[in-house]
Every structure is written in structure tokens, then in C-alpha cells.
């Protein structure tokens, strides 16, 4: 977390520098497009998970979760046929002018409830078996035979953002340009949730589960007016009131949590002179 805070402070200081450095020749950004592809690492706050069905209704308190990084290989990370295996980002943007753009995109994050953690449960389970009973803030272990809960294909964050761009360095007659970027916007959550509840397998289908909102800050390097390399930090809030839990359509779950995401992206711009 200290590294992320330091990163944001550096970005903020660069933004100040942008206002005091000597003016450089500006590109004609208006009516231009950019596209980028990259990879992310995510962190999540604890959340309460409420699960309800015909024979159960309970809430798990302060459940922790992690992302799931894929082991690196060229095939997994660079082949389009494997694009959904690692945690990836896709973004398409349009410059309104030299300082503002709008972008739409897709963050393929992954969210995995930490297995075998101890938490507390409140509610009731009417299904026959070892977990049948009424609970009031009782401790429970999230063993595999009780609950496996993942958004691993994935925690799909479909966003719309408005971005502010400020160029502050120009090297070698526009061969290398460096700018800061700040943005914010809403998102639709369309996960494919993989749940096993008391050995009842989940539906594992794409569905509209809720919404999110985020802000971000980043640094962008533009090479030869066409190639982009960028790094950004995104923080936000996710609320999913309609998660498909098991193969029974009435079995639902809901949760809300905060997230922090670090992204590295590569891409291209179109139409620069």
C-alpha cells in the first residue's frame, strides 16, 4: 500500500510540474482515437456476502478475497486465443481535445474468496447435513464442503470514463512524449461467478450483477506519435446485488466491496500528424 501511495504522490507532483514547465509543441489531439491492451493486479477490501435460496438465508461477515494471477507464459499473455486466462484490460478512447478524452473498456479482473478462512455467519440453513441450523454471529470455517466462491471468468468490469491528459515532457522532437492522466467513471459488472455451496454447483454463466464506480491516475508515454505505454492505478467501489449463486435460478448472492488495481498497458494512437 505504501508503494501505491508513493506512486500517486509522484503522479500528483508531475501534474504540478506540467503547469510550470516550458511550453512544447502540442499535437492535434482533437478527433483522434487510441486503443490499449494490458494486464492488471487487484486487491479487495473485506465484504459481507449474503446468500439466499429456498432452504437457506445467511450472511458471512468480513470475508477476505484475493485476485488470481496466471503463471507467466507467452501463450497465455500474448495470444488472443488465451485472452481470458490472465487478468487483462482492454480500452478504446477518443480525444475530445488535447486535454480531455472519453474511453470505454473492459477490465477482466478475478476475485477469489480465500479458502479455509474463519469468519462469522448469521441466518439459517434448512438443508439436511452438517451445516443445518440457526446461526447468530457464529464462527464458521469456509471449507470446500461448505463454500467455494469465485468471480474468476471473471469479475468483469465494463466501464465508461472521462479522462484528463496533461503533457509535461517532450524529448527528441516529439519522438518521446510523457503525460499524466486522471480519470473517473461508472461501470457495469458482468461476472461469470463460480460457486459451490454445500456441494451444490453454481450456474457459472455471464450475467448483469451490479455496478461500480472508480477513479484513476496514470502516466502515459507516447513514442513516435503512435505507440503508447502506460501505467495506471485505479481505485473504486463495486456493488453486486444480483449474483447468480447455484444452478437453481432462485439461489442468489449479493456483496459490495472496494478495490485497488494496478495496470500496465500497451497500445496505439490513430491519426496523429
Spell out the per-residue pLDDT of the chain, length 273, in tens. 444 444 444 444 444 444 433 344 445 566 789 999 999 999 999 999 999 999 999 999 999 999 977 565 455 555 554 555 578 999 999 999 989 999 999 999 999 999 999 999 999 999 989 999 999 999 999 999 999 999 998 899 999 999 999 999 888 777 899 999 999 999 999 999 999 999 888 878 899 999 999 999 999 999 988 899 999 999 999 999 999 988 788 889 999 999 999 999 999 998 755
DSSP-derived secondary structure letter, 8: H
Separation of alpha carbons 24 and 169, rounded Å: 8
Separation of alpha carbons 23 and 172, rounded Å: 15
Residue 9 three-state SS: helix
Q: What angle do CA 65, 243, 240 make, to 5 degrees?
A: 70
Query: Three-state SS across 159-203?
Result: EEEEEEEEEEEEECCCCEEEEEEEEEEEEEECCEEEEEECCEECC
DSSP-derived secondary structure letter, 186: E
Separation of alpha carbons 104 and 93, rounded Å: 6
Q: Do the Cβ atoms of 75 and 82 come closer than 8 Å? A: yes
- Quick: pLDDT tens for 179-196: 999 999 999 999 999 999
* pTM of structure: 0.84
Closest CA to 257 of 50, 91, 90, 79: 50
H/E segment holding residue 47: strand 47-53
Residue-range definition of the domain harbouring residue 222:
2-270
Separation of alpha carbons 53 and 177, rounded Å: 55
Strands 100-113 and 88-95: antiparallel
- Quick: pLDDT tens for 107-144: 999 999 999 999 999 999 999 899 999 999 999 999 99
Residue 214 three-state SS: strand
Radius of gyration of the CA atoms of the chain, in A? 22
Domain count, the chain: 1
Amino acid at each position: 500500500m505504501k508503494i501505491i501511495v508513493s506512486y500517486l504522490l509522484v503522479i500528483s507532483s508531475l501534474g504540478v510540474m506540467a503547469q510550470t514547465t516550458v511550453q512544447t509543441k502540442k499535437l492535434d489531439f482533437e478527433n483522434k482515437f487510441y486503443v490499449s491492451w494490458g494486464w492488471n493486479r487487484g486487491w479487495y477490501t473485506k465484504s459481507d456476502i449474503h446468500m439466499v435460496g429456498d432452504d437457506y438465508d445467511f450472511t458471512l461477515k468480513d470475508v477476505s478475497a484475493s485476485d488470481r494471477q496466471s503463471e507467466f507464459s507467452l501463450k497465455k499473455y500474448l495470444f488472443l486465443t488465451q485472452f481470458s486466462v490472465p487478468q487483462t484490460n482492454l480500452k478504446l478512447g477518443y480525444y475530445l481535445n488535447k486535454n480531455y478524452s472519453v474511453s470505454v473498456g473492459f477490465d477482466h479482473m478475478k476475485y477469489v474468496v480465500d479458502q479455509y478462512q474463519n469468519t462469522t455467519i448469521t441466518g439459517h440453513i434448512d438443508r439436511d447435513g452438517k451445516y443445518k441450523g440457526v446461526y447468530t454471529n457464529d464462527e464458521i470455517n469456509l471449507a470446500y464442503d461448505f463454500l467455494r466462491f469465485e468471480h474468476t471468468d471473471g469479475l468483469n468490469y465494463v466501464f465508461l470514463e472521462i479522462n484528463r491528459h496533461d503533457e509535461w515532457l517532450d524529448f527528441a522532437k516529439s519522438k518521446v512524449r510523457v503525460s499524466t492522466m486522471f480519470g473517473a467513471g461508472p461501470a457495469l459488472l458482468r461476472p461469470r461467478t463460480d460457486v459451490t455451496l454445500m456441494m451444490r454447483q453454481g450456474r457459472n454463466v455471464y450475467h448483469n450483477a451490479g455496478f461500480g464506480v472508480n477513479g484513476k491516475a496514470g502516466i502515459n508515454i507516447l513514442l513516435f506519435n503512435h505507440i503508447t505505454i502506460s501505467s495506471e492505478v485505479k481505485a473504486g467501489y463495486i456493488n453486486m446485488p444480483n449474483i447468480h449463486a447455484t444452478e437453481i435460478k432462485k439461489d442468489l448472492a449479493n456483496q459490495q466491496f472496494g478495490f485497488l488495481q494496478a495496470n500496465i498497458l500497451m497500445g496505439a494512437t490513430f491519426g496523429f500528424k
